[in-house]
Amino acid sequence: MIRLHTLFSSRALRNPVVRVACAMLGLALLSVVLVFGVLVGALMIAFGLLRRALTPKPAATRNAGNVIDGEYRVVGDSKASLAR
């Protein structure tokens, strides 16, 4: 029968060579993940810049017929709307 507390108990490694080997393996794994993340980020930035450089920009057009012109005025008194 498997005891539940033995599955999740912390067992410290006693052999110093195994400790150092596990630490080095952890650092190697961490560095691989870090380099992979930096490379993916750099590729995403490069792709965005390349896409922006290669996409043709639309010509600026003036739509004089679509301009809405208006006059504005303040409605109400700001002092009267404050709660007392």
Is the CB of residue 50 less than 8 Å from the CB of residue 42? no
Q: What is the DSSP string of 9-61?
A: -------HHHHHHHHHHHHHHHHHHHHHHHHHHHHHHHHHHHHHHHSPPPPP-
The structural domains of the chain, with segments of one domain joined by +, span 13-56
pLDDT tens column, 8-26: 776 777 888 988 999 999 9
pLDDT greater than 70 at residue 1: no
State how far Cα 31 lies from the chain centre: 20
pLDDT tens column, 55-75: 988 776 666 667 777 888 877
| pLDDT score for 63 | 61
